[in-house]
Amino acid sequence: MRILIAEDDAEAARYVMRGLQGEGHGVDHLAHGRDALAQAMTGDYDLLLLDRMLPGLDGLSILRAVRAAKLPVPVILLTAMGSVEDRVTGLRAGADDYMVKPFAFVELLARIDTISRRPSLRDEVLGLTVGDLTLDLLTREARREGQSIELQPREFLLLKHFMERPGRVQTRTILLETVWGLHFDPKTSVVETHISRLRAKIDKPFAKPYLTTLHGVGYVLQP
């Protein structure tokens, strides 16, 4: 799933992001309410995790705007406001679920799994296809021209990230943040090494290369 987190607590956001990325989800994070609303309105997400108390625009207002725009994306409100009235207000505004902080990450995962099993989302989580390259998100198996391609866990996350964004340039910084969960440059060749390994598996045995390096810019999976 592609998930947007709107959370102004940097430590909490980082904790949730790393956990979700470890489960193979693509995660974007924004800390300002108005930025989060603009990003949510792109319709590019399978799930929104909204903190109720955000600078600029609160999570409840974002939720109401999303529902007013008739976007079908599921929304889970994450908040310290745990009274019955607060929960009822959130659910009546259109939230699919409501979690009170602090919460256990495994409980958040369980609730996301429940949402992902709904019929409207089931097809989106099964697999990705770009040309003759396919990726099964349940078995984590890649295939090209009918041949099975074995991927290590980080290679799977990297390929999934690219296949969710075909034709879009991904910088080293974006890859470090979304695939490794790092918000700093580790000053190592970890990205380059994994790109090289992934390219050797999905491109070198075949006539058409998918993964292209744009020197000084980043990488792109050409559809």
pLDDT averaged over 10-residue windows placed end to end, the chain, 223 residues: 93 89 86 93 91 94 91 91 86 90 86 76 69 89 92 92 87 84 81 95 91 92 91
Among the listed residues 46, 26, 27, 48, the one whose alpha carbon sits nearest the alpha carbon of residue 37: 48
Q: How far is CA 199 from CA 52, 117, 138, 176, 190, in A?
A: 42, 32, 22, 17, 14
**Distance, C-alpha 149 to centroid of its chain:** 23
Residues of the chain with CATH 1.10.10.10: 127-221
**Rounded CA separation 53/37 (Å):** 14
- For 159-184, give the DSSP string: HHHHHTSTT--B-HHHHHHHTS--SS
CATH superfamily label, 2-116: Response regulator (3.40.50.2300)
Task: Give the list of residues 6+ apart from residue 84 with CB closer than 8 angstroms, or none.
Answer: none
Residues of the chain with CATH 3.40.50.2300: 2-116
Domain 127-221 of CATH type 2.40.50.140: no
